[in-house]
């Protein structure tokens, strides 16, 4: 499998080069030359196939010959070695809990897979690799955990000051060793822009072995399909595929779900559940895409005003908005509705959602009210404890701390403060 840049001005590369480069030299995102069609027997027999074999069969066409099959199978097995349960919340509504990995968020699968692939690719490399990533919340912790202690790899994580939860900040600023956190005086969009500028800077790229661990990297994006296949394995009514509502910020997760559907996974419809950052819902109505400055919400990991991965979705549907509208609905949910949903669902159904999952729940409920013969699930993308400072005042009780959080809450923060200034980032990277 080869990959081309969506800007169409860079050479095609294989999976290894796409993973190492992160972003194409022409600043475009990499996209597979073809979308593989899954073997129908995988879908027909999915309940009797192991999770490891399902994930291996899904990812193998995208990796091609870049990684030997046995090593790839081992990487996949290490990637998904935690529970991903589909649980009932209310009539016709289920939650796919993506938060049972080490950092309690859905980013764990992509970060684990990518770190292991990159570790394999650079094991004989003499030059130290610098992984550069921007985070609006969960990516930073997942990348930090995935790459912590990996020989020959330095990780630099940019996050917006005051715009990630206290637990998220602890997860990415308390490890030390080869994990470097930069607290940027700005927004996530500022952080993401600085990362993109770094990859476009000739001096940096010639001086450093630079790669990205954001969902712009194919090795972060593609394995997120695993969630949807493993959810379908648990889906109770195979004759009636689910409607799936995905809390969406940078659109990597829902892009992976749409890719799974395009290649053969039975899914009725997707909902991109956005918060007040509504550039995609506006686009789906008007066919006019206008990036905007992100605004802060209580579902902070979705505070993205120019989602990088949406261009992949558009490409997947041949830039035809009418085809896209057939399978995707995009809605915007406000903070008051999100708070109300957290409180109501916890009270009436004894299920506690984080703010992002709550956005997905509301969007799904709204859709099912229109189409009452359908059923579906929403992606519960993070454990509520990661946002205890938002959730606890709503439910008026404390959330018990899982051990992985209790271990870090009192650790000192280690971070470098920086303005949203690429020159400062460049100097920092060259000094590592």
Position 136 scores a pLDDT of 79
Question: Of 210, 75, 221, which Cα lies nearest the Cα of 133?
Answer: 210
Q: Which helix (H) or strand (E) holds 2?
A: strand 2-5
Ranges 212-226, 257-271, 278-292, 344-358: which has the least confidence:
212-226
Question: Which pLDDT score, from 0 to 100, does residue 301 have?
Answer: 87
Kindly report which listed range (128-132, 315-319, 360-364) carries the lowest average pLDDT score: 128-132
Percentage of residues in the chain with pLDDT exceeding 70?
A: 100
pLDDT at site 129: 86
Average pLDDT over residues 336-365: 98
Confidence of residue 189 (pLDDT cuts 50, 70, 90): confident
pLDDT reading at 138 higher than 80: no
Cα separation, 42 vs 265, in Å, equals: 9
Q: pLDDT band at 146, cuts 50/70/90?
A: confident
Task: Return the C-alpha torsion angle 98, 101, 105, 109, nearest 10.
Answer: -80
pLDDT in tens, 276-314: 999 999 999 999 999 999 999 999 889 999 999 999 999
Residue 50 has pLDDT above 90, yes or no: yes
For 217, residues 6+ apart whose C-beta sits below 8 A from its C-beta are: 18, 19, 22, 23, 114, 211
pLDDT above 90 (res 151): no
| CA torsion, ordered 389, 394, 399, 401, to nearest 10 deg | -10
Mean pLDDT, the chain, whole residue set: 94
pLDDT tens-digit series, residues 208-238: 888 877 778 999 999 999 999 999 999 999 9
CB 255 within 8 A of CB 312: yes
Q: Which of the four pLDDT bands, split at 50, 70 and 90, describes residue 166?
A: confident
pLDDT band at 23 (very low <50, low <70, confident <90, very high): confident
Contact 324, 254 (CB under 8 A): no
Which pLDDT score, from 0 to 100, does residue 165 have? 84
With a cut of 80, say whether residue 88 has pLDDT above it.
yes
Q: What is the pLDDT of residue 43?
A: 96
pLDDT of 124 > 80? The answer is no
- Check whether 263 has a pLDDT greater than 90: yes
What share of the chain in percent tops pLDDT 90? 78
Mean pLDDT of 364-378: 97
Q: In what order do the strands lie in the sheet with 86-90?
A: 86-90, 93-97, 376-380, 243-247, 269-274, 328-332
Q: What are the residues whose beta carbons fall under 8 Å from the beta carbon of 279, sequence distance 6 or more?
A: 289, 290, 291, 292, 305, 306, 307
Does the pLDDT of residue 200 top 90, yes or no? Answer: no
pLDDT at residue 380, rounded to an integer: 98
Domains, in order of start, for the chain = 83-106+221-400 (3.40.50.1100)
Q: Which residues contact 236 (CB under 8 A, 6 or more apart)?
A: none
């Amino acid at each position: 499998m080869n990959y081309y840049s969506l800007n169409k001005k860079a050479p095609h590369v294989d999976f290894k080069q796409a993973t190492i480069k992160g972003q194409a030299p022409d600043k475009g995102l990499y996209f597979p030359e073809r979308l593989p069609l899954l073997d129908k027997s995988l879908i027909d027999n999915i309940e009797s196939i192991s999770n490891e074999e399902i994930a291996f069969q899904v990812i193998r066409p995208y990796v091609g010959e870049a990684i030997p099959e046995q090593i790839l199978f081992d990487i996949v097995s290490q990637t998904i070695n935690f529970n991903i349960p589909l649980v009932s919340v209310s009539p016709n509504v289920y939650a796919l809990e993506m938060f049972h990995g080490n950092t309690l968020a859905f980013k764990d699968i992509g970060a684990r897979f990518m770190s292991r692939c990159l570790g394999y690719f650079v094991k004989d490399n003499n030059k130290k690799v610098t992984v550069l990533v921007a985070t609006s919340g969960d990516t930073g912790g997942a990348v930090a955990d995935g790459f912590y202690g990996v020989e020959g790899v330095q990780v630099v994580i940019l996050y917006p000051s005051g715009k990630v939860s206290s637990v998220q900040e602890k997860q990415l600023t308390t490890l030390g060793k080869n994990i470097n956190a930069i607290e940027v005086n700005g927004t996530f969009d500022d952080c993401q822009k600085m990362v993109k500028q770094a990859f476009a800077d000739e001096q940096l790229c010639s001086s450093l072995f630079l790669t990205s661990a954001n969902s712009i990297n194919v090795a972060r994006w593609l394995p997120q399909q695993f969630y949807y296949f493993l959810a379908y394995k648990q889906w109770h009514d195979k004759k009636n595929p689910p409607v799936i509502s995905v809390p969406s910020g940078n659109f990597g997760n829902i892009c992976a779900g749409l890719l799974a559907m395009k290649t053969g996974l039975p899914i009725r419809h997707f909902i991109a559940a956005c918060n007040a950052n509504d550039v995609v819902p506006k686009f789906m109505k008007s066919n006019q895409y206008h990036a905007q400055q992100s605004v802060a919400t209580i579902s902070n990991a979705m505070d993205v005003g120019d989602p990088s991965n949406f261009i992949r979705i558009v490409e997947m549907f041949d830039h035809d908005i009418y085809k896209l509208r057939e399978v995707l609905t995009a809605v915007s949910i406000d903070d008051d509705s999100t708070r109300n949903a957290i409180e109501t669902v916890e009270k009436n159904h004894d299920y506690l959602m984080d703010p992002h999952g709550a956005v997905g729940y509301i969007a799904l409920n709204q859709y099912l009210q229109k189409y009452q013969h359908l059923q579906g699930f929403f992606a519960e993308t993070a454990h509520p404890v990661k946002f205890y400072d938002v959730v606890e005042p709503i439910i008026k009780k404390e959330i018990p701390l899982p051990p992985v959080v209790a271990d870090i809450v009192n650790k000192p923060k280690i971070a470098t403060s920086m303005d949203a200034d690429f020159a400062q980032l460049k100097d920092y990277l060259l000094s590592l």
